[in-house]
């Protein structure tokens, strides 16, 4: 009975908890398609603008801008600054019309460990839900998120606080290539328990990309 119960808990959280980070906190990257609106200037409205592989976009009047690595809000601010040279008090909105495909890895004490490809904004609860939820052995107070550029500094998340207290700061927004690792014990040896997963995971990722 334990597996159905934990699966139901995760499914309930996925349906009822608001996103810890709204779309305005999402980090843009190549492959995302943007919708840009300049209020009062219909001719400047862009319904679908893909971010190029180099992370840049080109907008009338604003010119070529770096979008990759920015949030929609930050990009809107940059566009506003550029348009201010030509328009009086422009109001700009930037939304993600289509999210790029993102790979995340969910490993350790979950029922279906592996790599998952998703095409939407995604957070910790989404990832654990896709992996069939956590097992009864999972140490829910210490879930680790390992980022490609920060493999020596895993982010520690308290899943129990998210589940029992609704602490949305623990429902972390995931990035492409993140590894979510649910350990069996609250005590973890990074070199022994996490490092082998990182090496194996990124070897698989490189094989898929080649």
Q: What is the per-residue pLDDT across 149-180, written as a single tens digit (0 to 9) for each?
A: 776 678 899 999 998 988 989 999 888 889 99
What's the structural domain count of the chain? 2
Q: Which pLDDT does position 20 carry in this prediction?
A: 40
Would 88 be classed as within a structural domain?
yes
- How far is it, in rounded angstroms, from Cα 54 to Cα 83? 22
93 and 111 within one domain: no
- Under the banding of pLDDT at 50, 70 and 90, the label for residue 16 is very low
CATH code of the domain in which 198 resides: 3.10.560.10
> What number is the average pLDDT over the span 47-63?
96
Sign of the four-CA dihedral 164, 166, 169, 175: positive
CATH code of the domain in which 87 resides: 3.30.1950.10
The residue from 78, 98, 118 where one domain ends is 98
202 and 109 within one domain: yes
For residue 61, pLDDT beyond 60: yes
40 and 53 within one domain: yes
Task: Give 44-50's long-range contacts (Cβ < 8 A, gap of 24+).
Answer: 44/83, 47/97, 48/97, 48/98
Distance between start and end Cα atoms, the chain? 42
201 and 129 within one domain: yes
- How far is it, in rounded angstroms, from Cα 144 to Cα 181? 5
Average pLDDT, the chain: 82
Domain span at 54: 27-98
Would 12 be classed as within a structural domain?
no
The token pair at 145 is 């998120």
Tokens 């790029």 — which residue?
A: 100
Would 21 be classed as within a structural domain?
no
160 and 66 within one domain: no
77 and 31 within one domain: yes
Would 2 be classed as within a structural domain?
no
The residue from 98, 119, 141 where one domain ends is 98
86-137 pLDDT tens trace: 999 999 999 999 988 888 999 989 999 999 988 777 889 999 999 999 999 9
Query: DSSP letters along 63-110, please?
Result: EEEE-TT--HHHHHHHHHHHHTTTSSS--EEEEEEEPPPEEEEEEESB
175-202 pLDDT tens trace: 888 999 998 876 666 666 666 666 666 5
167 and 121 within one domain: yes
Q: Which pLDDT does position 15 carry in this prediction?
A: 47
The Cβ of residue 170 has, within 10 Å, a number of other Cβ atoms equal to: 20
Would 14 be classed as within a structural domain?
no
Would 166 be classed as within a structural domain?
yes
Task: Select the more confidently predicted residue: 26 or 68.
Answer: 68
Phi and psi at 13, nearest 5°, equal -65, -40
Tokens 């993140």 — which residue?
A: 178
202 and 137 within one domain: yes
109 and 77 within one domain: no
Would 9 be classed as within a structural domain?
no
The residue from 66, 98, 130 where one domain ends is 98
104 and 69 within one domain: no
């Amino acid at each position: 009975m334990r597996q159905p119960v934990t699966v139901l808990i995760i499914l309930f959280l996925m349906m009822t908890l608001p996103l810890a980070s709204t779309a305005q906190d999402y980090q843009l990257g190549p492959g995302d398609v943007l919708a840009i609106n300049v209020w009062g200037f219909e001719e400047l409205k862009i319904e679908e603008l893909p971010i190029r592989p180099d992370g840049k976009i080109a907008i009338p009047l604003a010119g070529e801008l770096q979008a990759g690595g920015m949030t929609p809000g930050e990009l809107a601010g940059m566009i506003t600054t550029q348009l201010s040279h030509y328009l009086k008090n422009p109001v700009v909105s930037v939304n993600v019309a289509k999210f790029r495909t993102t790979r995340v890895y969910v490993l350790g004490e979950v029922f279906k460990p592996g790599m998952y490809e998703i095409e939407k904004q995604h957070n910790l609860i989404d990832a654990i839900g896709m992996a069939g939820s956590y097992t009864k052995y999972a140490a829910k107070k210490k879930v680790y998120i390992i980022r490609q550029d920060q493999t020596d500094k895993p982010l520690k998340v308290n899943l129990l606080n998210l589940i029992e207290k609704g602490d949305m700061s623990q429902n972390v927004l995931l990035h492409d290539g993140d590894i979510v690792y649910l350990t069996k014990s609250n005590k973890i040896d990074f070199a022994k328990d996490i490092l082998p997963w990182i090496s194996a995971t990124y070897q698989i990722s490189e094989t898929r990309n080649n």
